[in-house]
Structure 1
Amino acid sequence: MKRKIIIGSMIAALAIPALAIAATDGPHKGHHKGDIFERLDTNKDGEISFEEMTVRSTERFSRLDKDGNGTISVEEMTVKKKEFFDKLDKDGNGSISKEEARAFHDMKREMRKERHASRMLEILDIDKDGVVTKEEFAAASDKRFEAADGNKDGVLSAEELQNMGPKKHGMKKG
Structure 2
Amino acid sequence: MKRAKLMSGVLAAALMMGGAAAYAEGKMGHGMHGPRPMMNFEEIDANADGKITKEEIAAIGATQFGKADADGDGFLSLEEMNARGLEMAKARIEARSAKMLERMDADKDGKLSMDEMQAMKDKGPRGKMMDRMFDRADADDDGAISQDEFDAAQARMQERMQDGKGVHKGWHKKDRGNCDGSGKANQ
Q: TM-score, normalised by structure 1?
A: 0.51
CA apart distance, 1:31: 5.6
- The one-letter code matched in structure 2 to 1:90 is A
CA distance in 2, matches of 1:87, 1:113: 20
After superposition, the C-alpha distances for 1:130-156 in whole angstroms (9 at most, x for unaligned) are 0111221221122237x849xxxxx75
Q: Residues 77 and 144 of structure 1: is their aligned pair in 2 closer, same or farther, counting only changes over 3 Å?
A: closer
Match for residue 90 of structure 1? 70
Amino acid at match of 1:70: G
- Which structure has more relative contact order (CA 8 Å, sep 6+)? It is 1
Matched residue, 2:120: 140
> Which has a greater percent of strand?
2
Q: Which amino acid aligns with 1:97?
A: S
**Runs (5+) with no aligned partner, structure 2:** 16-28, 137-187
Deviations 1:2-33 (A, max 9, x none): 9xxx8xxx7xx8xxxxxx947x4xxxxx5659
Q: Identity rate of aligned residues, in percent?
A: 28
Q: Are residue 74 (structure 1) and residue 48 (structure 2) matched?
A: no
- Mark the CA change 1:137 to 1:83 in structure 2 (over 3 Å): closer, same or farther: same
Whichever residue aligns with residue 60 of structure 1, its letter is N
Supply the RMSD in Å over aligned alpha carbons.
3.7
> 1 CA distance for matches of 2:115 and 2:109?
13
Residue among 33, 43, 68 paired with 1:63 = 43
Structure 1 segments unaligned to the other structure (5+ residues): 14-19, 25-29, 34-55, 150-154, 159-174
Distance 1:21 1:135, change over 3 A: closer
1:1-174, aligned counterparts within 5 Å? Answer: 21=30, 24=32, 32=35, 60-144=40-124, 148=128, 156=132, 157-158=135-136
